[in-house]
Structure 1
Amino acid sequence: MGNKRKFLFFYLTTGAGHISTARVMKDCILKNNPDAEIVMINGFDNKNFLGKLIFETGYYFSTNFLGGLYSLTYDLAQSRFFQKMMLYTIAPHTIKYIKKVIEEEQPTDIVNFHFALTPFLKKVLRSTDRKINMTVMVTDPFTVPRCWFYEKTMNYFVYSQEAKEIGIKLKVPADNITIVPFALNPKYQEKFTAEDVVALKKKHGYDLNKKILLMIGGGDGLPGAIDIINKCIRKKADFAVAVICGKDKVKKDYLEMVKKANPQLDLHVYGFVNYLDELVKLCDCVVMKAGPATLVEVLTCKKPVIISRYIHNQEKGNMQFAVRNKVGYFIQKPEKIYDKVEELLDDKDFDIKMAKRFAALDIDVDTDKTAKLLLSY
């Protein structure tokens, strides 16, 4: 094996946060050690139908359409017994697949980005006589589900003291939990000026004299976006509106029709984009769900947020962080969201107030520190 480092990054496609964090860490490690090799591995192969049904398809529908079901599942998942039963059903196939991957890839290091895979990875590593460094990167920054700390002897990376304290209460030794900076895409860390914003507005076809509201909902669009836009139409909003629909083609097609039928509204509709950082930088205010990765990206660009929704308990701490630091608001009703947007964008002292609040906001996003720590093992 020599001294070359080979990492396996294990993830699941439950939401965008896990895989996006893995991609950021991959780029950062390669920047610090170009000779390293990193292989991204979905912990469920295509034959793991039950695992995908529970953790991927089930997660998607319960969080987007059946919030009550997700709340029930989330609360049940805090039970150790329920965790064992859930994992037991998918253990045979998952363990066999992970063992095969590790034998074929021969890694020096494993970094796991999803709690459901930790017990299986631990079991496989126990059965090998090779030394493999193993780290679990907890992607929920504040209110961390108990299932992240299912295994007490793992090495954990967390984003906050609150997360570390949860692990300690669940009997994970304090020395096994390291607080690291948020894993943030470098594009959002690049400083930008007023001139840069003007250039971005020109590039994407925005009126230079209008304020801009951006609505983001992760990979599947923002629930309630259509209601907010309808309110913008009724109130004859004088600001531009940008909507990211992600993979929701039905919503995108519908909003394109709304745009044509209401040319008086300066509406910009997008599907999936790979330049979200530019849209965040050119906007003045963001309405969004409380996903951790997107929240940190937006706040790093010093844009105030209105959080319209958070996943039961799991994302509550993200919302509270924004509200507590006075850089965000939690408002659920579309009518009230519109009123707050109008209030913020009409406030002549808006930029000055926000600048002071963001100056006091302390978010460590030096991901190089985390990469160097992984490479030091």
Structure 2
Amino acid sequence: MKILILYENTGMGHERNATILADILSGIPDAEIVKTSGSELFDSANLKMVSALWNYLIRRNRIRTADIVMNFLMRIFLLPVGEVLEIDHCLKKLDGVSPDFIISTSDASNKVLATYAKEKNIPFFIFLSEISTFIDLVNPYALHLCCLPETAKAIRNYDMGEAYFAHPLGRSASWFSKIFYVSKVWSEYALRPRKHSIYRNGSPCLPERNRNRVEVIGPLAERKYFAAKNRGLLRERFGILPNVPAVAVVSGSIGGSLLTDTVRQLCRRFPGPLHVMVICGRDESARLAIESFAVPAHIRVQAFGFVNNLDEYLRAVDCVVIRPSASVFIESLFSGTPILAVGKVPSNDRGSISTIDLYELGKSCEDPRHVADTLIAMLERLDMYRQNIRSLLASFPATYEERADHLRQLVLDQMIRS
């Protein structure tokens, strides 16, 4: 059985999820795993450009620009055009792989993947690590795997009668049919955005409008995040002094100016002793900038590049200060450490903020100038936040092996039914 796992190169979150799924599904006897990005598989300059532009804007903290231009305008106006222009090319590329099963952790390509899967009568899974969702992460043919029930609510809130979901694409589609599809999508989402929104933020209050297949599997992270860790020993190894609060500042592999802004504000405004460990990912310029900061005597700042033991850093500290991308948010959850989400976020990450608020897993502040005051308030309620994190995770299987077994069984069940 050949399983195609497709991701995209926006940060490392999508690829990390694909790697976790590949590790789990390699445990299926006779399974051949093909893991690749959509831009590589389809040899798409457009997908490569989108990934590069997204990473560029996020690294420079141009959040509003990334959100409006890429999350909304490009999805409404360019996504349907790209689908009709590249559908035949993409289907031929998929013919070359000839998968028996497709799993996608990416966006943008899912309508094409669903078209192929339906044509070949093979199973198709969409794995959503983010809490909020957009139209291209939902498909009536797919089985949707999501981390929390709020995402399931978002998926089932879309109207499957809207053109994006109801109008099929395929090898035999005429140009008239393709033009009609694009014009219909534009007329619904561009001209009537209040009635036809491409975006949903996960909420328990959203009404159900479809019966799409959804499986809530719980948050998923690498195997090492499930392992027990001695927090006291980790603090000693990292040189964190007793009774000194410690924070890890993380913005994923992208890094970006959010790191430097946050550290600068902590140095200026935090009044007492504090140990700050900054994980800069692949952003070497941010690491060098932070190392050059003039730091007050009562604060210790350490800047690191990309680390392979992020799970240990997250576990050792009292609070994780993050840009709440889905992967960093979930990894922070598994550390059991209260979360302080800082900065403006694009719409795809708003679900992380709403989840922090809904389950009281920590706090959020949009303006980095308020990070010190917010951190002071959080340090007084750490035990409550830790208990809330434990309670949320207790809703799902406790071990990596249990979650892996569940996923493998889902795949096998779908293969039997197809």
Smaller-chain TM-score bracket: 0.7 to 0.9
Range with greater deviation from structure 2 (313-322 or 64-73): 64-73
- Alignment check: 8 A CA contact 2:3 2:102 kept: yes
Q: Which digits, 9 at most, give the CA deviation of each residue in 1:253-286, with x for residues without a partner?
A: 1222227x76653111111111000001100001
Q: Distance in 1 between matches of 2:377 and 2:349?
A: 26
Q: Distance in 2 between matches of 1:99 and 1:204?
A: 51
**Kindly tell me: are residues 262 and 175 of structure 1, through their superposed partners in 2, closer, same or farther at Cα, counting changes over 3 Å?**
closer
State the partner residue of 2:134.
Answer: 145
State the partner residue of 1:221.
Answer: 255
Query: Is residue 188 from structure 1 mapped to residue 225 from structure 2 by the alignment?
Result: yes
SS of corresponding position for 1:157: strand
State the partner residue of 1:240.
Answer: 275
1:88, distance to aligned residue in structure 2 (A): 3.5
- Tell me the amino acid that sits aligned with residue 222 of structure 2: N
Q: Distance in 2 between matches of 1:22 and 1:208?
A: 39
Q: Which digits, 9 at most, give the CA deviation of each residue in 1:68-113, with x for residues without a partner?
A: 332323233564x65311333544554443332x14xxx3322111
- Alignment check: 8 A CA contact 1:25 1:371 kept: no
Q: Which digits, 9 at most, give the CA deviation of each residue in 1:133-158, with x for residues without a partner?
A: 322222322x2112212x42223223
- Tell me the amino acid that sits aligned with residue 155 of structure 1: L
State the partner residue of 2:114.
Answer: 122
1:184, distance to aligned residue in structure 2 (A): 2.1
Q: Distance in 2 between matches of 1:326 and 1:220?
A: 27
Task: Give me the TM-score of the superposition, normalised by structure 1.
Answer: 0.84
Q: Distance in 2 between matches of 1:63 and 1:90?
A: 27
- Alignment check: 8 A CA contact 1:242 1:267 kept: yes
Aligned to 1:332, which of 366, 387, 393? 366
State the partner residue of 1:252.
Answer: 287
- Tell me the amino acid that sits aligned with residue 49 of structure 1: A
1:310, distance to aligned residue in structure 2 (A): 5.2
1:218, distance to aligned residue in structure 2 (A): 0.9
- Alignment check: 8 A CA contact 1:45 1:97 kept: no
State the partner residue of 1:375.
Answer: 412
**Kindly tell me: are residues 225 and 115 of structure 1, through their superposed partners in 2, closer, same or farther at Cα, counting changes over 3 Å?**
closer
Q: Distance in 2 between matches of 1:311 and 1:340?
A: 17
**Kindly tell me: are residues 257 and 93 of structure 1, through their superposed partners in 2, closer, same or farther at Cα, counting changes over 3 Å?**
farther
1:18, distance to aligned residue in structure 2 (A): 1.4
**Kindly tell me: are residues 360 and 115 of structure 1, through their superposed partners in 2, closer, same or farther at Cα, counting changes over 3 Å?**
same
- Structure 2: which 5+ residue stretches go unaligned? 166-209
Q: Which digits, 9 at most, give the CA deviation of each residue in 1:317-338, with x for residues without a partner?
A: 2111111222221202223111
Q: Which digits, 9 at most, give the CA deviation of each residue in 1:296-322, with x for residues without a partner?
A: 221232211111135332221211111
State the partner residue of 1:304.
Answer: 338
1:44, distance to aligned residue in structure 2 (A): 1.3
- Structure 1: which 5+ residue stretches go unaligned? none
- Alignment check: 8 A CA contact 2:109 2:136 kept: no
Q: Distance in 2 between matches of 1:170 and 1:17?
A: 28
- Alignment check: 8 A CA contact 2:363 2:378 kept: no
State the partner residue of 1:358.
Answer: 389
SS of corresponding position for 2:308: coil
1:251, distance to aligned residue in structure 2 (A): 0.8
- Alignment check: 8 A CA contact 2:140 2:212 kept: no
State the partner residue of 1:179.
Answer: 216
Aligned to 1:165, which of 153, 159, 178? 153
Query: Is residue 277 from structure 1 mapped to residue 311 from structure 2 by the alignment?
Result: yes
State the partner residue of 1:48.
Answer: 44
- Tell me the amino acid that sits aligned with residue 292 of structure 2: M
SS of corresponding position for 1:13: coil
**Kindly tell me: are residues 176 and 356 of structure 1, through their superposed partners in 2, closer, same or farther at Cα, counting changes over 3 Å?**
closer
Q: Distance in 2 between matches of 1:262 and 1:90?
A: 56
Q: Percent identity?
A: 18
- Tell me the amino acid that sits aligned with residue 307 of structure 2: V
- Alignment check: 8 A CA contact 1:310 1:319 kept: no
State the partner residue of 2:205.
Answer: none
1:8, distance to aligned residue in structure 2 (A): 1.5
When the two structures are aligned, how many residues end up with a matched partner?
A: 355
Task: Give me the TM-score of the superposition, normalised by structure 2.
Answer: 0.76
State the partner residue of 1:344.
Answer: 378
- Alignment check: 8 A CA contact 2:343 2:368 kept: no
- Alignment check: 8 A CA contact 2:28 2:408 kept: no
Query: Is residue 76 from structure 1 mapped to residue 73 from structure 2 by the alignment?
Result: yes
SS of corresponding position for 1:258: coil
**Kindly tell me: are residues 123 and 324 of structure 1, through their superposed partners in 2, closer, same or farther at Cα, counting changes over 3 Å?**
closer
Moved beyond 6 Å, runs of 4+: none
